[in-house]
């Protein structure tokens, strides 16, 4: 244990059956908030995330595997499925992100589990949801991003659609799965009954598509790729400085007037081409060129000083080294250092969001190997002794 578990979900029992990103990210969020997360992995293989990531050392696992205990159970055989059902008999939340139908095939479907544990909340994350004509299709985060509308509007209009650079579809689906689980816990407090939380990758993406659908429905507007800008919102872009790039968001009328003053061109604020939000949107390219010509004469430090002086929303374009040396990140402990047996310590994003009275924490480092906590969890929850565990391991059940 790295530190005391003071999270809001302390005492809540979670069993995570998923792998890769979407389901395990949901488990990470619940674990960060204090839940006791037991992760079931395939014996000898484990979650593929253990070996994912860039660089020589595959350290992504240190983030998505934190605050979880690992148990290795072969869910493809009847005895493994029986062990899982025993673990789920007194659990509060189960998370899975297998292809729909898999849990039914294993005898771990909602009807079976609710017969054993009526209060169990079952979070099911999948590409297309648990029903509908596409439900039995395989789906990854990128596919959900494409179907949900994200990919079509990201990137340069003269190039194919771009990806964000992170698996945002998976993370969104995991986040909405966590949100649903928390809402279901509230209902269970009133009714005593659990329910199924159905989080589809494409629908999780669809939720953050703002006015994309309604604009098309009402006005026939089709959002397209617009590069680094949001069409009609200006000035709001990343602009060149003499030593790098800097983000400015000055699209409100009053804010733009302050920017024009900071630029030494206050007349821009009353110029009919730029005086209103609508006019600035129409003349977006021309206005961006004016701002860019001015910022190019300044260093990032000089530009930032002016943005602060004139109270203009703006900021540096951060990469990992910038985050690690930034005083605001440090003051809020947005990045924390976690002891690690292999690396001494690793720096990673802290738990979020912040709760004032029951703060989340990284109280357990990611497991070192699949099944590291077999004896601890299966002994504690199921009362299995050393001989029974050894016999199960010999037969490949755990």
Give residue 297's pLDDT: 98
Q: Is 338 helix (H, G, I), strand (E, B) or coil?
A: strand
Q: Model confidence over 143-154: pLDDT tens digits?
A: 999 999 999 999
Q: For the chain, what percent of residues have pLDDT higher than 90?
A: 93
pLDDT bin (cut points 50, 70, 90) of residue 1 is low
Give residue 2's pLDDT: 83
Q: Distance from CA of residue 156 to its chain's centroid?
A: 25
Rounding to the nearest 10 degrees, give the CA dihedral for residues 376, 380, 385, 390. -40
Catalytic residue positions, numbered: 170
Homologous superfamily of the 236-321 domain (CATH):
formyl-coa transferase, domain 3 (3.30.1540.10)
Radius of gyration of the chain (CA): 25
Give residue 294's pLDDT: 98
- Rounded to whole angstroms, how far apart are CA atoms 362 and 349? 10
Topology classification of domain 13-208+336-394: Rossmann fold (3.40.50)
Give residue 136's pLDDT: 93
314 strand-pairing partners? 248
> How are beta strands 335-340 and 121-126 bridged, if at all?
unpaired
In 3-state terms the chain splits into helix, strand, coil percentages (rounded to 5) of 40, 15, 45
Report the 10 Å Cβ neighbour count for 94. 29
Taken as a whole, the chain contains a residue count of 398
pLDDT bin (cut points 50, 70, 90) of residue 77 is very high
Give residue 387's pLDDT: 95
- Rounded to whole angstroms, how far apart are CA atoms 64 and 283? 44
φ/ψ bin of 360: left (φ > 0), alpha (ψ from -120 to 50), beta (otherwise): beta
Q: Model confidence over 253-268: pLDDT tens digits?
A: 999 999 999 999 999 9
> How are beta strands 314-316 and 244-249 bridged, if at all?
antiparallel
Q: Model confidence over 370-398: pLDDT tens digits?
A: 999 999 999 999 999 999 999 999 999 99
Q: Model confidence over 93-121: pLDDT tens digits?
A: 999 999 999 999 999 999 999 999 999 99
Task: With a cut of 90, say whether residue 22 has pLDDT above it.
Answer: yes
For residue 50, give the DSSP letter: G
Task: With a cut of 90, say whether residue 230 has pLDDT above it.
Answer: no
Sketch the domain layout of the chain as residue ranges: 13-208+336-394, 236-321
Q: Model confidence over 157-216: pLDDT tens digits?
A: 999 999 889 999 999 999 999 999 999 999 999 999 999 999 999 999 999 999 999 999
Residues whose CB falls within 8 Å of the CB of residue 280, separated by 6 or more in sequence, listed in order: 234, 235, 251, 256, 273, 274, 287
pLDDT bin (cut points 50, 70, 90) of residue 55 is confident
> How are beta strands 121-126 and 93-96 bridged, if at all?
parallel
Confirm if 84 and 72 have CB atoms less than 8 A apart.
no
Positive or negative: CA dihedral 104, 108, 110, 114: positive
Task: With a cut of 90, say whether residue 32 has pLDDT above it.
Answer: yes
Same fold flag, 13-208+336-394 and 236-321? no
Q: What is the mean pLDDT of residues 57-77?
A: 96
Helix, strand counts (H, E) of the chain: 17, 11
The more confidently predicted of residues 22 and 54 is 22
């Amino acid at each position: 244990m790295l530190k005391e578990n003071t999270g809001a979900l302390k005492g809540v029992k979670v069993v995570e059956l998923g792998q890769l990103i979407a389901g395990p990210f949901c488990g990470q969020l619940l674990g960060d908030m204090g839940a006791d997360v037991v992760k079931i992995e395939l014996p000898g293989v484990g979650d593929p995330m253990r070996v994912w990531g860039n660089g020589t050392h595959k350290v992504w696992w240190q983030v998505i595997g934190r605050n979880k205990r690992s148990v290795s159970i072969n869910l493809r055989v009847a005895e493994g499925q029986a062990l899982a059902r025993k673990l789920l008999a007194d659990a509060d939340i189960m998370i899975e992100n297998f292809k729909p139908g898999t849990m039914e095939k294993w005898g771990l479907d909602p009807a079976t589990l609710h017969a054993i544990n009526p209060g169990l909340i079952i979070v099911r994350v999948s590409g297309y949801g648990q029903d509908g004509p596409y439900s039995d299709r395989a789906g990854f985060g990128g596919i959900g991003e494409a179907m949900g509308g994200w990919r079509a509007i990201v990137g340069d209009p003269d190039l194919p659609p771009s990806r964000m650079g992170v698996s945002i579809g998976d993370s969104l689906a995991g986040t909405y799965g966590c949100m649903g689980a928390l809402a279901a816990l509230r209902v269970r407090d009133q009714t005593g009954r659990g329910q199924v939380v159905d989080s589809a990758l494409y629908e999780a993406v669809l939720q953050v598509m703002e006015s994309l659908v309604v604009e098309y429905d009402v006005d026939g507007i089709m959002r397209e790729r617009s590069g680094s800008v949001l069409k009609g919102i200006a000035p709001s872009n990343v602009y060149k400085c003499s030593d790098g790039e800097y983000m400015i968001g000055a699209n409100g009328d009053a804010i733009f007037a302050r920017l024009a003053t900071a630029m030494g061109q206050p007349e821009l604020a009353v110029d009919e081409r730029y005086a209103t939000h609508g006019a600035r949107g129409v003349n977006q390219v021309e206005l961006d060129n004016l701002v860019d010509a001015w910022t190019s004469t300044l260093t990032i430090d000089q530009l930032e000083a002016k943005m602060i002086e004139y109270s203009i929303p703006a900021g540096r374009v951060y990469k990992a080294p910038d985050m690690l040396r930034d005083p605001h990140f440090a003051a809020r402990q947005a990045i924390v250092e976690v002891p690690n047996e292999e690396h001494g310590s690793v720096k990673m994003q802290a738990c979020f969001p912040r709760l004032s009275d029951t703060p989340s924490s990284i109280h357990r480092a990611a497991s070192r190997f699949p099944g590291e906590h077999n004896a601890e969890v299966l002994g504690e929850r199921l009362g299995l002794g050393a001989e029974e565990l050894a016999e199960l391991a010999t037969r490949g059940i755990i």
